[in-house]
Copies of this chain bind each other. A is one copy, B any other.
């Protein structure tokens, strides 16, 4: 087994697909682990991915299928005939199925649900009642529940009896007669304990829990902070409805970070595999913000029109406009990104806004002094000392201002209940540009004695 699982597998595979070489394709499939195969299916077009999928052994097909994103799962399922279709759907974990259905058109949902056993259908429907971003969508309802007043030996016997169907047996919720959560036991503690011991000695009654309607991202970050393998999920009456397992939490965090990355560059997050997205889909994910930003950018044009007299008098002032607005934008973007990330991982709260604004003001001033010195030298070489002075004074003021605006806006957004990640670098840049130009021309008037 190679340690580097991803080393150019696709070149070989493409050749086999082009040749339609079934025997070698089957050999290739047998040699690669499910996540690698899933990755290739996601990258391939519909015809090839369905072809490859049908060549898989049934057990492996299920494993590969579970590794796929909902969009890719639909791509495969659409290409399968009824018996194969239902075999796959029936074998999926209920939470994965709910996620697949959450994004599918209604007739597709119909086709999936109609093929399920009553038990499987109930589990999926239960999960489907929750919001897109709720813990309920990601939790595993198939858990092993233990009763409070048993011995370790009895508890282990119960794990053996019903554990095969559960998604995890490493964290075992302990419940009272009404299915209310009283605590959790780790399988590790059960295995290491004396079989005759009472379960109550091992139960962690202080365990963290979340509601099924809570945000999946917060729950996942909580698991990371508190180093939990599984997090019990309860309903509004504190009854256990499932467990959020760490592999699902990891997926939640990766998806949230991917979304934040996209938002930070003023794009909508793309669903599905990056390579599978078409030109129009990508353009659609980017155009909305670009429209808003270009309209906002007319503010810069308005400001420059207002100072057209100064520009005509000293054309050289125009030479440094991109440098000044660019630097202001960079400083603002750095401050904004730092604040957005600190909010996302829980290191910062909206109430910190004044503390942060003051700190960033000083940081921006320091940066401005450093950059102003560089700007002075560069501008002196290129033009004259008066313009150089204007440029460097402007840099100090613009950097301090940009840092304050960049760091405060995500905090204010959060206060207003808006996702702080929409305060993207391009948004901050655009807003800082216009004010930066005003600062520049006001300083130019004073230094150069214009107007």
For A300, the chain B residues whose CB sits under 8 A away are 322-323, 326
Residues in A248-302 with C-beta less than 8 Å from chain B: 249-251, 253-254, 257-258, 260-262, 264-267, 270, 273-275, 279-280, 282-283, 286-287, 289-291, 293-295, 297-298, 300-302
- The complex places the Cα of A148 from the Cα of B74 at a distance, in Å, of 42
Determine if A274 and B327 form an interchain contact, defined as CB atoms under 8 angstroms apart: no
* Closest chain B residue, CB of each to CB of A280: B366
Determine if A5 and B378 form an interchain contact, defined as CB atoms under 8 angstroms apart: no
* Residue from B210, B251, B323 within 8 A of A224 (CB atoms): B251
Q: Given A164-B192, A253-B253, do A370 and B322 touch, yes or no (CB 8 Å)?
A: no
Determine if A374 and B229 form an interchain contact, defined as CB atoms under 8 angstroms apart: no
* Residue from B8, B39, B250, B331 within 8 A of A286 (CB atoms): B331
- The complex places the Cα of A299 from the Cα of B247 at a distance, in Å, of 48
* Residue from B222, B287, B334 within 8 A of A265 (CB atoms): B334
A84 in the interface, Cβ–Cβ < 8 Å?
Answer: no
Determine if A315 and B311 form an interchain contact, defined as CB atoms under 8 angstroms apart: yes
Q: Identify the stretch in A107-115, A120-128, A340-348 within 8 Å (CB) of chain B at 4 or more residues.
A: A340-348
Residues in A320-341 with C-beta less than 8 Å from chain B: 320-323, 325-327, 329-331, 333-334, 336-338, 340-341
Determine if B326 and A366 form an interchain contact, defined as CB atoms under 8 angstroms apart: no
Determine if A191 and B160 form an interchain contact, defined as CB atoms under 8 angstroms apart: yes
For A228, the chain B residues whose CB sits under 8 A away are 247
- The complex places the Cα of A279 from the Cα of B368 at a distance, in Å, of 13
* Residue from B322, B333, B346, B437 within 8 A of A266 (CB atoms): B333
Residues in A206-263 with C-beta less than 8 Å from chain B: 206-211, 214, 222-229, 246-247, 249-251, 253-254, 257-258, 260-262
A88 in the interface, Cβ–Cβ < 8 Å?
Answer: no
Which 6 A-B pairs give the minimum distances between C-beta atoms? A265-B337, A274-B342, A300-B322, A318-B318, A297-B323, A330-B426
- Report which A residues bind B (CB closer than 8 A): 1, 3, 5-6, 8, 10, 33-35, 39, 42, 67, 156, 159-160, 163-164, 168-170, 187-188, 191-192, 206-211, 214, 222-229, 246-247, 249-251, 253-254, 257-258, 260-262, 264-267, 270, 273-275, 279-280, 282-283, 286-287, 289-291, 293-295, 297-298, 300-302, 304-305, 308, 311-312, 315-316, 318-323, 325-327, 329-331, 333-334, 336-338, 340-342, 345-349, 351-352, 355, 359, 362-363, 366-367, 370-371, 374-375, 378-379, 382, 425-426, 429-430, 433, 437
